[in-house]
Structure 1
Amino acid sequence: MTSTENTTTDERAYASMAELSAAPLWRQYGELMPAEPPSRARAHLWPYARLRPVALHFSRALSMAEAERRVLMMVNPGLTDPPATVPTLFAGIQIVMPGETARAHRHAANAFRFIIEGDGAVTTVNGEQLAMRPGDLLLTPGWHWHDHAHQGHSPMMWLDGLDYPLVNSLNAGFFELYDAPVQPVANPDEASSRQFRHGRLNPAWRAPSTDHPGVSPVGSYPWEETERALATIAEAASVAGSAAEGILLEYSNPWTGGPVLPTIACRIARLRAGFAGVPRQHTASTIYHVVSGSGSTTVGEQRLDWNDHDTFCVPGWARYAHQVASDGDATLFSYTDEPVLRALGLYREQWL
């Protein structure tokens, strides 16, 4: 058989393969089995000083009834369709104004709120009302009813974190509206936080939920407790912390000692003045929010300069290092998909 005949036969075979919804692995092997993890996500920073005026504009131009949730999505330039901040996680800035209520709903995706500014608002999660104060971390596990109400006097703004990009990629997303604008308060306010606020002394009359395994029973991790822990440890000069992340603490599930949500680990770090992180990379994608202070993070060849309340992301397997000037400490809140990667045996890291 001649070369021309071979080519003609191959073309017919490839065409038949396509008609059968099949494809030749040998033509895509390098793309399907890369030497290192590729990522469409890019390192990117969203400046709060520029996002805040936009959020305030839409607080006047768009009612809660029109918006359902008034959120500015932080869309990674490499992940615009569908929109995500990193491949598995989402970040957004939500704003609720005095007198407003964000109606009750629930979804399969796990979520949390890290409060940026404001006072006088509450979120109700499965019948438990939780106060929202700057620096507080509030959990909204998957398929928990939740609504927000604001009776304060100034804008209430927070960082929304969700794992809906992961949930939707697994084709496991569900959503449901509550049959009333708000759900009834059925439990004492902040009961879960008060019960589990005492280190490793957990209430013996309760047991881990079988309906939501891996979900922390704590509704709110208040900033006053977080700041106290950070300050106590950071004041000890002998405690160096992580060479890459400084004094790094993880919000934990008191039942397991592990992450607060099955798919999301939440952490807080104090970077001392003059901190220069050792570069490293890992397969987990991470979103950072600047609680206070200023500094920079070098991701690959890109430098991200950050200030109070900015948000930035480091894609998985990207080389990164944090730096803080010598004139003051910085505090970074972060969340990551590391629990998913560890559960699947896919977490890997290396120091550079």
Structure 2
Amino acid sequence: MKIGVPKEIKDQEERVGATPSTVASLIHAGHTVVVEAGAGVGSGYLDEDYTAQGATLGSAAEAWDAEMIIKVKEPLPSEYGFFKKGMIVYTYLHLAADRELTDALLANEVTGVAYETMVGRTGGLPLLFPMSEIAGRMSIQVGAHFLESAHGGKGILLPGVTGVHRGKVTIIGAGTVGFNAAKVAVGMGAQVTILDINAQRLAEVDNIFNDKIQTLISNPHNIKTAVEGADLVIGAVLIPGASAPKLVTEDMIKNMADGGVIVDIPIDQGGIFETSTHATTHDDPVYVSHGIIHYTVANIPGAVPKTSTDALTSATVGYAIEIANKGIKAAADDNNTVFTGINTFAGQLTSKAVADSLDLPFAPFQ
């Protein structure tokens, strides 16, 4: 199979869909790989690193002229012109919040394999996990930054100092993102509250942190109390393939003290805050609504591309080889993880969660 690795063109996105090691594995399996010149530079990989492993360098058009495309972020409108019937696009897609991309994939009969909906053999989301770890950990880092008065925040130091209150961090969601956010927040010495609808998961988290955090069942009353009293609120709820639920109301944001910060990590699925009106970029990462700083960058791990690329590609390469070796139908038949990643196929929307979110017809993959 001919495989293309284009350069990411999303603002401040320096990750790349394949490392030289990934290329070596694909070529060893008998495939050809075209890498867009400069695609890996932001992640620390030079063009000669790819050619040394047998890749061919090309333009964007040449990288897209392939049977399978391996990316990191969703294709942008300027890339839709490269779509062609039967092409496999293997990347994060987040279609539930992107009707335009969904329509383009369907109209061109592109097979969209979404990292974020691929379910592992024992459950979980193995291709979302490494980026969720990074996003969770970075959320506290960026939140602490914007709490500084020089950046518009209320001037709170999360760990406090002797004789002074620690900063209050509320994390909504105790999955991979929320757990990793809690790790950093607790490590910094903040006062941490984490909410989730799963009591068993909260018990696990409570045991791991040895009672250093406050756990609460996620319901409207508890969310309201925890949000309104917080200095930093992290949105960490994800429903695979579907739009994120709006759990934090505009009134709750209005009742926070001015200069507080929210970080809405699932913004690429629509976000969990009613006041998260749009995704921001690393160039212009925040906006203020009701006196509260909103950080709604859709590709948080893109700020640390070397770490992110190495973590992501180590998770994606095995499935890429399986798809390339067998073709999408046989790979999906043999591996349920591949099957659960197929969001579009032959002009049909094959993810029920996406179909329900966009109110479009659903057709099971066959």
Q: Which structure: greater strand fraction?
A: 1
Shorter-chain TM-score range: under 0.3
**TM-score (norm. length: structure 1):** 0.26
Say which one has the larger Rg.
1
Q: Which structure: greater helix fraction?
A: 2
Q: Kindly indicate whether structure 1 or structure 2 has the higher relative contact order, using CA contacts under 8 Å at least 6 residues apart.
A: 2
